[in-house]
Structure 1
Amino acid sequence: MGTTELVVAGLLPQVSAGLDITLSQAGLLITVFAVGMMVGAPAMAMATLRLPPRATLVLALVLFAAGHVAAALSSSFAVVLVARFAAAVATGTFWAVGAVVAAAAAGPAASARAMGVMIGGVTLANVLGVPLGTAGGQLLGWQGPFWVLAALALIAAAVLARKLPAAETRPQTSFAAELASLRRGRLWLVYLATALVQGSFVAAYSYVAPLLTELAGLPEAVVPLAMFGYGAGALAGITFGGRLGDIHPFGIAIPAAGLIAVTLAALTLWGGNGVLAVALVLALGAFGLVANPILVAQVVRATGPVNTLAMSLSTSSFNVGIAGGSWLGGLALSSSLGVHGPPVVGLVIAVVALGPLGVLAITRDKEVLR
């Protein structure tokens, strides 16, 4: 699921040529996936509230696979967009329910570490899935990774159907109780910070292929290698954030957002240098995902680990950032800024993100926003 959301970023030229669309239109395949998760996560989390976790997660994986098969079989941009949306709804459902299960199992004292472990799947996607998918898509056509992801989803569904207890249910709650938990002002500040931090680096990373090939003048073969380096940096960053986030949450998250801004400023100014551009993509991975487990853990602390709606909105807030960042980055790419546009947009978003993060840090021990 982590692989499919961003593998398109490394295949924009292939998708553009295969579907006869522009690069910025191809970027909409990232945007629409994020929108599907943003809308689908809370809606499906509530629709499946009474279903056992096993049934919900298995059904989500089957829908995910079906969406990828539909996309791979079609040459219509509109059909591929709809298929991506359907797969995203399945992904949002899986993340919302899976996060509740993981947080409940770990307990509030270790919630950031539990989220770090779960988000480790996204890290693995960045380290291996996205660069391997990019390389495979360059060799076999952009549909190749979609077929592989559909097959892997069905294998995962079979494993979960066998391993998860059939009788296990989620903690009983009501829709009214779920809604009541959303009245905390602090919770919405966490959601805002999540969306802004995520959108900052995604605005640039969604267009990593043109940044490296057009701005830095590097060959296409370098793109998956740079994405592998980005993933390795993300692995280090998310591990760091997950391990220290329970102790010093905003002492880690605020500097991470600042370093995202610095990295994007450098990419804007000196991205024409090939070696430096690759190094900055690696740095973007290292700083970009540090705050993710910390911010999810803040949702757990604000509402408790059993609130499916609050957790699904956390998933949605990440995807507000992905959708907004990739969309604004695409607009900037099509503007007079050209390939400098995506990192400029990301820089502005990163600076804005420091605002809600600062308020959260200052009011951490006060009741006014709780």
Structure 2
Amino acid sequence: MTGSTAGPATGSVRQQAPAGSRQPLPLVVFVLALGTFLMVTSEFVVAGVLPEIAGDLSVSLAHAGLLITVFAIGMIVGAPTMTLVTLRLSKRSTLLLALAVFIVGHVIVALASDFTILLAARFLTALATGAFWAVASVLAVRLAGTGSGSRALGVVGAGGALAGVAGVPLGAFVGQTLGWRGTFWSIAVLAVVAAAMIARFVPHDAGATEGATIRGELRGLRAPRLWIALVACATTNAAMLSAYAFISPILTDHAGIAIGFVPLVLTCFGVGSLSGTLLASRLGDARPHAVTVVTPAVTCVLLGLLAVITGAPAATIAVVVLLGLFGFSANSVLTLLAVRAAGQAATLGSSLTVSAFNVGTAVGTGVAGLALESSLGVVGPILVGTGFAALTLVPVVALAVLRVSAGRGGAH
């Protein structure tokens, strides 16, 4: 059952369920998850077809790697910028506009023969991705209704996690079978399907923002808890991506795992990540701070353990799978905390989490790369990740303390 419940800038949301009950999530949440599946597949599939792109366009692998870098920059800049540009559009219109730009970007990549044009198209695609992800997160929370926001964000986030398990490997397979351009054509076609489903299932008035202004949105960013949550978003992604970006040499050189088994280990990691995201999101509605504190604490221990395991393939695989289960699982809960802290500026707050996660990715992988080239070798990125995981405990504990203090203040 759905209904229209009046609230500040919320549009149509599900009615609050009776205490103790758990309503099923609306179908539209899963439609939004399909969109995030495509977005994340597009973001990371380039890594799987990078040699083919470099060879076809006669550029070096390092130069071709700029396609990944420019996408991250586009996500960092684009998410909040596009949110402000589309402020007066309905959430439905913004999602459809983002998918249209996303489709055009992939068609350009599939047709282009000039590397500079490819870079521009990937940046354009990143702008659309940031806008879609930010709006989809807020819309999923609002349409799911009170008490199911974390679960809805978990499903949307699971679409991204599933991309790592299925989307990216399938994209790489298509690239090997039909050529790298076939990968981008395939994503463009699937995005058309996603756009049709968005048009069919997302309500016209969902998240309407009549009267919203840029000044009003910026005023909503004064909440300290929002910025603390954003710091946590950045450090938690830095922790995991520091190690994951160099997982192949860590598995082969550090743990002694045969190169042929690396894809299988990564698949197990992806399954763990998908499961962890869904589990944490189910717990996040009732105990969000328990999730956000326990997750980086366990991640810190696991990364520290990974650093001291040498030449132990079975133990390393077990730790990597557990890292998949815990490493990214709190991301949807952190997004929810940021959205709640932003209040009226929920969409802008959500867009800033997209930027924060990508800042963490850029900083984490950059520092880890320097550590890899140091005397620490492949252990360096693991230690960098351990440090960022420990650092994440500072903002998440601060959020928990502020929540307890606010509760005590309310009691008085």
Give the alignment's TM-score, normalised by structure 2.
0.79
Distance 1:39 1:356 in 2: 23
Alpha-carbon distance in 1 for matches of 2:331, 2:85: 26
Shift of 1:292: 1.1
Give yes or no for contact 2:239–2:385 (8 Å, CA) kept in 1. Answer: yes
Residue 40 of structure 1 aligns with which residue? 78
Of 70-79 and 264-273, the range deviating more from structure 2? 70-79
Counterpart amino acid of 1:53?
K
Which residue matches 1:356?
A: 395
Of the structure 1 ranges 357-366 and 301-310, higher mean CA displacement relative to structure 2 is found in: 301-310
**2:243 paired residue among 192, 204, 220:** 204
Residues 270 and 276 of structure 1 are in contact (CA less than 8 Å); yes or no, is this contact kept in structure 2?
Answer: yes
Q: Unaligned regions of 5+ residues in structure 1, if any?
A: none
Shift of 1:185: 1.0
Corresponding position: 1:300 with 2:339: yes
The 3 A distance-change label for structure 1 pair 185 and 83 is same
Residues 131 and 228 of structure 1 are in contact (CA less than 8 Å); yes or no, is this contact kept in structure 2? Answer: no
Q: Give yes or no for contact 1:267–1:277 (8 Å, CA) kept in 2.
A: yes
Inter-CA distance 17–255: structure 2 relative to 1 (3 Å threshold): farther
Q: Deviations over 1:279-303 (max 9, x none)?
A: 3332221111221121112123223
- Verify: 1:69 aligned to 2:69, yes or no: no
State the match for 1:130 in structure 2.
168
Q: Which has the higher contact order (CA 8 A, sep 6+)?
A: 1
Matches of 2:280 and 2:180 in 1, distance apart? 33
Offset, 1:305: 7.0
Distance 1:148 1:262, change over 3 A: farther
Query: Is 1:330 the equivalent of 2:369?
Result: yes
Number of the residue aligned with 2:8: none
SS at 1:170 equivalent:
coil
Tell me the residue number matched to 1:97: 135
**Deviation digits for residues 45-95 of structure 1 (CA, Å, limit 9, x no counterpart):** 110111222322122112223323333445665544433222111100101
Distance 1:363 1:108 in 2: 22
> How many aligned residue pairs are there?
367
CA displacement at 1:158 relative to structure 2: 2.4
**Ranges in structure 2 where 5+ consecutive residues have no aligned partner:** 1-38, 408-412
Please identify, of 139-148 and 234-243, the stretch whose mean Cα deviation from structure 2 is larger.
Answer: 139-148
- The question of whether the paired residues in 2 share the 8 Å contact of 1:111 and 1:297 is answered with yes
Per mean C-alpha deviation after superposition, the further-off stretch among 25-34 and 119-128 is 25-34
Contact 1:333 1:342 in 2 (8 A): yes
TM norm structure 1:
0.87
Code of the residue aligned with 1:54 in structure 2: it is R
Aligned twin of 2:277: 238
- Residue among 386, 396, 402 paired with 1:347: 386
Matched position secondary structure for 1:157: helix
User: 1:320 is aligned with what amino acid?
Assistant: V
Supply the distance in 2 between the matched residues of 1:32 and 1:259 (Cα, whole angstroms).
32
* Larger radius of gyration between Structure 1 and Structure 2: 2
Q: Does 1:53 align with 2:91?
A: yes
The question of whether the paired residues in 2 share the 8 Å contact of 1:71 and 1:146 is answered with yes
Q: Could you tell me how far 1:193 is from its partner in structure 2?
A: 0.6
Give the counterpart of 2:223 among 173, 181, 184: 184
Between stretches 211-220 and 255-264, larger displacement belongs to 211-220
- 3-state SS of paired residue (2:147): helix
Contact 2:89/2:209, CA 8 A, preserved across alignment:
no
**CA offset at residue 206 of structure 1?**
2.4
In the alignment, the residues of structure 2 paired with residue 79 and residue 332 of structure 1 have an alpha-carbon distance, to the nearest angstrom, of 33
Q: Note the C-alpha offset of 1:142.
A: 4.9
Contact 1:11–1:209 (CA under 8 A) maintained in structure 2: no
Matching residue within 310, 317, 320 for 1:281: 320
| Amino acid in structure 2 at the alignment position of 1:194 | C
* CA contact 1:203–1:326 (8 Å) conserved in 2: yes
- Range with greater deviation from structure 2 (268-277 or 101-110): 268-277
Alignment partner, residue 410 of structure 2: none
Cα distance in 2 between the residues matched to 1:273 and 1:16: 35
